[in-house]
Amino acid sequence: MSNASTASDVTADALKTGVLPIDKPILAEHADAIGWSTECDVLVVGFGAAGASAALEASQHGARVCITDRFDGGGASAKSGGVVYAGGGTAYQKRAGFNDTAEAMHEYLGHEVGDAVSESTLRDFCAQSNAMLAWLESLGIEFDSTVPPKKTSYPPDGFYLYFSGNEAVPQFAGQYPPAPRGHRVKGAGLSGSVMFKAMRTAVAAAGVTVMTQSAVRRLVVDSSGAVLGAEVWQIPGDTKDARRHRRLSRLADRLNYGAARISDLVRRRALAIELSSARPVLVRARGGVVLSTGGFIFNRAMVARHAPGYLRNFRLGTSGCDGSGIRLGQSAGGDAAHLERISAWRFINPPIAWARGMVIDPQGRRFCNEEVYGALLGHEMCEHHGGKAWLVIDSRLRGEAIREALFGGLWTFQSIPAIVLTLAAKRGRTIEQLAHKIGADPSLMRQTWDAYNSGARGGDDAMGKSPAMRQLIDAPPFYALDVSVGSPVFPCPAITLGGLRVDEQTGAVKQANGACVPGLYAAGRAAVGIASNHYVSGLALADCIWSGRRAGRSASKATTDTSSQVRATA
């Protein structure tokens, strides 16, 4: 088969899937054997929070940095809630009256992080989180100490410090008192855009070269396997194709919320422009290449291969979350891990009345403490119950939920699903009648209901629910709300957590044998990190910043080491 026909097949497959094609690396005898278009010390691939952090850190250490982005920058970070998980006694925690320590933060995160990273790395992350927050403040990013009056999945404007995980849930209790560590960037609306705007400004002020609408499709390696740079495919700026690509890409991301199939069609049209209009630019990176392109939730083939149970979940992210960075790393010999780990978010608070109800599986059996963070509830539902569950409440809880949804100052993405799902709930005058309505076992559901109410009356709760969140479900009629993955009015978002294995001291990409790929680094959701086991709000963004800075710092040091070797040889 000719190279032309092979390229044609690759293009056809890419247009069918909407996923950026990644090719095998260009092999060169040595760096001088390539006709480079341009050069830098550190090339960062992906301009979200991880990429911006890597670029800024490398620049602050004296490196000449170039950062590329397939679109216009921001990625999933700019679409996020802008929550940074930090603790150990931040100024905001202290002002709010919480005496947190790095030891307390480590104790709690040990439950969530598990084996994703080593014990020493987790301790370093906790010890450095306060300084990480100060670094963000130096970029002009603001935080605050205002705490919302009750537990919520995301606080309303005016509140910027909250319990963003399971810190206050009894089953996670330890020797230290719980403390809020979700530091939401101060600003109106979802704060991710506010945070990234400040990071983009800082990147520009640092003199970093930014290449937008520029996708890396393959790396350049020498005969020893060391990464020398990358082939960047850039759509010529200020052209009709560039404008159409930008417009279609933004439209695809907007349509993802509510019109996924149309979104995919638009995304493929944008990719077609990339594949036909972009031109290659060979970029030499003397210190190394940092991969920070995000996860792979938009790559259905990768999800099907590693976590098929999550194909029905709502894809949370942007078009760039197609695993291109992971695939680039693998093309150069990098090893990936934890790709099966997906975080599915089933938030039932707010309204807080919902969290006082009971969640059951299709048979009528309760399976989780309803007050836990939504990602833990989603994990249990998707991993062990086929993504199906019902939330059972009574008329009293239903009324409380509707009132909070209408008058409780909730975000639109919290209030509208609450109202629609509550009004669409199945109804029964008795628990047995409700069981018949949802196809559950009436006898089993009755036992579950009796046990739940026994705990609400002061007995033991089988799932460890705190007394404050227990409430009798005894005011008929009873209601069952469909909180399954497939609920059309209540999507269950998901993000990927695994990525390339990296050296936890440097962020260098590791091979299967444990050796590092020379000149290649990874950060954020393209890499295994702090958030690669279980997710709580702010942990992925904090990991992006922390791991991005680590990779940028290491790549800049490699630049210095390379320059010293060249001078010594001369």
Q: How sure is the predictor about 306, in pLDDT bands with cuts at 50, 70 and 90?
A: very high
Instruction: Give 243-299 pLDDT, tens digit per residue.
Output: 999 999 999 999 998 788 999 999 999 999 999 999 999 999 999 999 999 999 999
Instruction: Give 397-439 pLDDT, tens digit per residue.
Output: 999 999 999 999 999 999 999 999 999 999 999 999 999 999 9
pLDDT above 60 (res 568): no
Look at strands 65-68 and 209-211 and give their pairing: parallel
More confident residue, 563 or 368: 368
Instruction: Give 510-529 pLDDT, tens digit per residue.
Output: 999 999 999 999 999 999 99
Which residue, 222, 214, 119, 209, is CA-closest to 520? 222
Distances (CA, A) of 428 to 189, 246, 432, 478: 39, 51, 8, 5
Q: How sure is the predictor about 5, in pLDDT bands with cuts at 50, 70 and 90?
A: very low
Instruction: Give 529-558 pLDDT, tens digit per residue.
Output: 999 999 999 999 999 999 999 999 999 999
More confident residue, 327 or 491: 327
Please give the pLDDT value at position 2: 44
Instruction: Give 31-70 pLDDT, tens digit per residue.
Output: 999 999 999 999 999 999 999 999 999 999 999 999 999 9
* CA 444 from centre of chain: 37
Please give the pLDDT value at position 563: 52
For the chain, give percent helix, strand, coil, nearest 5.
40, 15, 40
Element (H, E) at 201: helix 192-205
Instruction: Give 475-498 pLDDT, tens digit per residue.
Output: 999 999 999 998 878 889 999 999
Instruction: Give 350-407 pLDDT, tens digit per residue.
Output: 999 999 999 999 999 999 999 999 999 999 999 999 999 999 999 999 999 999 999 9
The tokens describing 226, both together, are 């060391």
Instruction: Give 99-125 pLDDT, tens digit per residue.
Output: 999 999 999 999 999 999 999 999 999
pLDDT above 70 (res 561): no
Q: How sure is the predictor about 560, in pLDDT bands with cuts at 50, 70 and 90?
A: confident
Query: What phi and psi values does residue 138 have, to the nearest 5 degrees?
Result: -65, -20
pLDDT above 70 (res 6): no
Q: How sure is the predictor about 567, in pLDDT bands with cuts at 50, 70 and 90?
A: very low
pLDDT above 60 (res 145): yes
Which residue, 363, 386, 360, is CA-closest to 440? 363
What one-letter code names the amino acid at 317? G
The tokens describing 449, both together, are 């209901």
Please give the pLDDT value at position 562: 60
Per DSSP, 525 falls in state: G
Look at strands 342-344 and 493-496 and give their pairing: antiparallel
pLDDT mean across residues, the chain: 94
pTM attached to this predicted model:
0.95
* CA 374 from centre of chain: 14
Please give the pLDDT value at position 488: 75
pLDDT above 90 (res 7): no
pLDDT above 70 (res 8): no
* CA 234 from centre of chain: 26
CB 190 within 8 A of CB 160: no
Residue that the structure tokens 């014990």 belong to: 119
Domains defined for the chain, CATH in brackets: 19-80+192-237+279-304+320-343+496-569 (3.50.50.60), 83-184 (no CATH), 346-482 (3.90.700.10)
CA torsion angle 352 356 357 360 (round to 10): 100
